Chains A and B, each alone.
Chain A
């Protein structure tokens, strides 16, 4: 062994030991998290991992994602080259040259090209961070121009330069056995050729540079945000197999703990998520709260969990409670209550995250702690909770008034065996004066199509959506159990809902109570009726002018219903609705979800103003919605913006008015 081998081997072993120790220290912290099943259905998990981690589907949604795609795949390919380098440094006789010549050629070519591509990609990354930095790269505690980011980028660039230095020198010395397969190294060799005195130095400097940077990288990796190189792939494997629109049940028994008030109350997967965050800022770019200047940034929620876990790790290892609170005002490792209450549960963060981190469920877990254990929540919610508990509706209106909207229509109660569908009107459709008009429109359309439907009338109860999203799981459970019992008693199997919040609750949440209903949103059912010819329109109604459609989060992102409401518009007017800049899966919340409907908005711009601005940019005459909360938010927003001339219609109102005009 040469002294060089000895030094190399010693440093390599030291870095690998340090790496393993660091990784062990970090990953062993996952044991303090709560259990959660994330190992089922390995085949599906592998395919998700392939799509999101290797094919980088989410990463590629943003144009600059291509840059990351290049770096990622270069990394994978160069892992071989670096592996060879490390082994070769210890055992100089072992190298990839032992492989069949054809294979080795291809590899050498790939290493060369990919290293050059990486250099370009790193240059673009530098430019992006230094010159054209998008604002979402900065969060409160992690900046786009952080030394860490530049250090890592420099490490990668140095590795590539060193690679060309080494192989260029070898090519210049004629020691590269297949220079034709290495176009860039050969080019470097050609430059070095005229300076023979330099070649030796360039080789040694490059070789040591390559070695030292690689060792530094190995040591630094588990302590930086580049930890995601290790965690992102498994995180995609462990990702939620079904979109997490619902929250898990809690067990209510004496001595139980509710929600998450300290970091070890999160599940191991929540903690693993926090180790996997790349600090890419895509969630924060999509978040309606962050976008309108609220205290909440989903990225910071994830970052705070990681920071908190690391800060409290010593205490946890010693079996003590951590000293840094998870919820509070103590900076980087804590989440403020204000942030926790600012979430509209719109899910845009989860939709944006390239590594399938689930930010929103973590927020609801902390809300559960605040409501159920601490009894601490914004003042406005006290009324809401009392109204829900005492009168089963958010406004606290007498339950006897639930069926008042019926007064003008011949409507029958739901009777199992005689009526096909239960129309679950919901609180807004029953009590809110504007939403009641939508209910009436829906009723006339259903009647026109000859659908067999009925209502529960004053026996109908609130579904409890807001309670669950606000973390008042105890009360939600009480209401859910009452409803499940009521539906069973009445023999309800097929339900039409007017409101996407009722839809999601009846369809996704009540399943946890063993109630499997066939729940459709009104727009879905009506789209089917159009398709089957039970509703016939002439597609000519132009009285709505230019229509812009706003996707409600709980209809679209949370329940995958994008086309049906657009079909109603198309069928009535003959033209497609225009789209806001952010629409479909990437739609921007109206601001009312997650119980925000019942809270004041004290900081920053109002979410509904931001959304209305975006819709108005399409110069619509009519804005279409498919949710009573969106209706309120958009109407209020238009009024505040002095754009009262723009009409707001639920899609079913458009259809109902179209039918009326056609038949007139």
Chain B
């Protein structure tokens, strides 16, 4: 069985600044990192590998330099890395992105049965959390989002049992394979690559698939296949807060007021 992880290269958002004039992100000189949630997805895939001996493939759609992201996954121990890169894939929204990723997974499935696909919960740049569900829908896989614990993967019974982290509660669910999981950070602690793995991965092969390989209709992918358009990106005006109580003379009273306010606005989950 093959486990597929989807990893995306994202700009290190802590280092992204907004251009005050154009109100757009200044992306120049910003280093790229692996989408943090995806590192947990890779770790989960590797745990399946450690436990069941299944193979793991990492795929990413992006420009040629997204190869670095896949190398990192290789250093952590994935068996195969495929970069989906073609000019016609560019400018994709979540629909077009999931179409390309789903096509790649189908192609991988021609060689080896895909039992589990793992995505991050969301990215730190696009933030939509739609790509995972999009892939599941396209492939008709079961769909388990926000997974924070995998209780059991039953390969012979072809089912999986997980816990989902929802606001203020957990949900324990079971689904038949093949399944797509989107995962949250609480799921695990990603492994740190050993030096040997890093050196191995430096020369390991990252396969690059373009649209000649996937053979998708160019009108359904990339910019052309994207029905959503971003009209403007801006940083929201920060509304000025209010002063609560007298923190200098009555800190406890002020703290109480603050807690009441947060409860009133439903900012504290109890």
Interface residues of A (CB under 8 A from B): 252-254, 258, 371-375, 377, 379, 382, 385, 390-391, 396-400, 474
Of all chain B residues, the one with the shortest Cβ separation from A250 is B195
Within 8 Å by CB of A382, from B17, B192, B198, B199, lies: B192
Q: Which residue of B lies closest to A376 (CB)?
A: B192
The reply to whether B15 and A252 form a contact with Cβ atoms under 8 Å apart is no
- The reply to whether B194 and A372 contact each other, CB–CB distance below 8 Å, is yes
Q: Please, which residues of chain A bring their CB within 8 A of the CB of B14?
A: 391, 396-398
Would you call A474 and B33 a contact (CB within 8 A)? no
Q: How long is the Cα–Cα vector from A238 to B96 in the complex, in angstroms?
A: 68
Q: Which residues of A contact B17 (CB under 8 A)?
A: 400
Best-surrounded residue of B192, B195, B196 (most CB of chain A within 10 A): B195
A-B contact pairs, 14 of them (CB 8 A): A252-B199, A254-B196, A372-B194, A375-B192, A375-B193, A377-B192, A379-B189, A382-B190, A390-B33, A391-B12, A391-B15, A397-B14, A398-B14, A400-B17
12 further A-B contacts with Cβ under 8 Å, apart from A254-B200, A474-B195, are A372-B194, A374-B194, A375-B191, A375-B192, A377-B192, A379-B189, A390-B31, A390-B33, A391-B14, A391-B15, A398-B15, A474-B198
> How distant is the Cα of A375 from the Cα of B200 in the complex, in angstroms?
15
Beyond A382-B189, A390-B31, A390-B33, is A258–B12 a contact (Cβ under 8 Å)?
Answer: no
Min distance, Cβ A630 to any Cβ of chain B, angstroms: 29
* Nearest B residue to A397, CB-CB: B14
Q: How far is the CB of B26 from chain A (nearest CB, A)?
A: 10
Kindly list chain B residues whose C-beta atoms are within 8 Å of the C-beta of A372.
194-195
Complexed CA–CA distance, A377 and B189 (Å): 12
Known: A254-B200, A382-B189. A373 touches B194 (CB 8 A): yes
CA A385 to CA B191, docked complex, whole Å = 12
Among residues of B, the one whose C-beta sits closest to the C-beta of A398 is: B15
Quote the shortest CB–CB distance from B239 to chain A (angstroms). Answer: 25
Give, as a whole number of angstroms, the nearest-CB distance from B11 to chain A.
12
The smallest beta-carbon distance between A261 and chain B, in angstroms, is 12
**Cα distance, A487 to B15, chains bound together (Å):** 24
Q: Contacts A382-B189, A390-B31 given: A258-B15 contact, CB under 8 Å?
A: no
- CB under 8 Å from chain A, chain B span 170-207: 189-196, 198-200
In this complex, the member of B12, B17, B200 whose beta carbon has the largest number of chain A beta carbons within 10 angstroms is: B12
A400 x B15 contact (CB < 8 A): yes
A384 smallest CB distance to B (angstroms): 11
Provide the residues of chain A in CB contact with B192, threshold 8 Å: 371, 375, 377, 382, 385
Q: A382-B189, A390-B31 are in contact. Are A253 and B15 (CB under 8 A)?
A: no
Residue of A at shortest CB range from B13? Answer: A398
Closest 3 CB pairs of A and B: A398-B15, A372-B195, A375-B192
Report A-chain residues with C-beta under 8 Å of the C-beta of B194: 372-375
Chain A nearest Cβ from B18, distance in angstroms: 13
Q: Are B195 and A252 in contact (CB under 8 A)?
A: yes
Cα–Cα distance between A371 and B191 once the two chains are bound (Å): 11
Q: How far is it, in angstroms, between the C-alpha of A491 and the C-alpha of B191 when the chains are bound?
A: 39
In the complex, A375→B50 CA distance in Å?
15
Given contacts A390-B12, A390-B33, contact A254 B195 (CB under 8 A): no
Tell me, in angstroms, the Cα distance from A374 to B191 when the chains sit together: 10
Q: Within the assembled complex, what's the spacing in Å between the Cα atoms of A377 and B193? A: 12
Give Cα A372–Cα B75 distance, bound, in whole angstroms: 12
Complexed CA–CA distance, A258 and B195 (Å): 8
Nearest chain-B residue to A399 (Cβ)? B15
Q: Return chain B residues, CB-CB under 8 Å to A375.
A: 191-194
Once the chains are docked, how many angstroms separate the CA of A373 from the CA of B17?
38
A379–B12 alpha-carbon span in the complex (Å): 22
Q: B199 near A253 (CB under 8 angstroms)? A: yes
Q: Which residues of B contact A391 (CB under 8 A)?
A: 12, 14-15
Q: Which residues of A contact B196 (CB under 8 A)?
A: 254, 373
Of all chain B residues, the one with the shortest Cβ separation from A373 is B194
- A372 to B190 CA separation, bound complex (whole angstroms): 15
Within 8 Å CB of B199, what residues of A? 252-254
Distance A374 CA – B190 CA, assembled complex (angstroms)? 14
* Cα of A524 to Cα of B122 in the assembled complex, Å: 52
CA distance A377 to B15 in the complex (A): 28
Minimum CB–CB distance from A293 to chain B (whole Å) comes to 27
Chain B residues within 8 Å of A474, by CB: 195, 198
Q: How far is the CB of B196 from chain A (nearest CB, A)?
A: 7
- Kindly list chain B residues whose C-beta atoms are within 8 Å of the C-beta of A254: 196, 199-200
Complex interface: chain B residues within 8 A of A396 (CB)? 14
Q: What is the 8 Å Cβ interface bit string for chain B, positions 10-42, against chain A (1 contact, 0 not)?
A: 001011010000000000000101000000000
**Cα-based distance from A293 to B140 in the complex (angstroms):** 58
The complex places the Cα of A474 from the Cα of B193 at a distance, in Å, of 11
Task: Give bound CA distance, A9 to B190, whole Å.
Answer: 69
B10 to chain A, nearest CB (A): 12
Tell me which residues across on chain A come within 8 A of B15, comparing CB atoms. Answer: 391, 398-400
Complex: A381 Cα to B60 Cα, angstroms: 28
- Set of chain B residues within 8 Å of A373, measured between Cβ atoms: 194-196
Task: Point out the residues of chain A lying under 8 angstroms from B189, CB to CB.
Answer: 379, 382
Contacts of B31 in A (CB 8 A): 390
Which residues of B have CB within 8 Å of A258? Answer: 195
Residues of B within 8 A of A379 (CB): 189
Q: What is the chain B residue whose CB lies nearest that of A400?
A: B15
| Cβ distance A586 to chain B, nearest Cβ, rounded Å | 37
Q: Give the docked Cα–Cα distance between A258 and B193 (Å).
A: 14
| Cβ–Cβ < 8 Å partners of B193 in chain A | 375
Query: Which residues of B sit under 8 angstroms from A400, Cβ to Cβ?
Result: 15, 17
Chain A nearest CB: distance from B201 CB in Å?
Answer: 11
B184 to chain A, nearest CB (A): 17
Residue of chain B at shortest CB distance from A374 = B194
217-261 of chain B: CB within 8 A of chain A:
none
CA distance A571 to B248 in the complex (A): 40
Contact residues in A for B195 (Cβ distance below 8 Å): 252, 258, 372-373, 474
For the complex, give the distance between the alpha carbons of A382 and B76 in Å: 14
Closest A residue by C-beta to B199: A254
Min CB distance B220 to A, Å, is 36
- B231 CB → nearest A CB, Å: 28
Give complex CA distance A397, B12 in Å: 11
Residue of B nearest to A381 (CB): B192
Inter-chain CA distance A258–B33, complex, in Å, is 27
A451–B99 CA distance with the chains assembled, in angstroms: 63
**Distance of A337 Cα from B23 Cα, bound (Å):** 51
Bound Cα distance from A397 to B31, whole angstroms? 13
Q: How far is the CA of A472 from the CA of B151 in the complex (A)?
A: 34
- When chains A and B are docked, how far (Å) is the Cα of A417 from the Cα of B190? 47
Chain B: CB-nearest residue to A258: B195
Q: Which residues of A contact B191 (CB under 8 A)?
A: 375
Q: Cα distance A379–B189 when bound, in Å?
A: 9
In the bound complex, CA of A397 to CA of B193 (Å) = 23
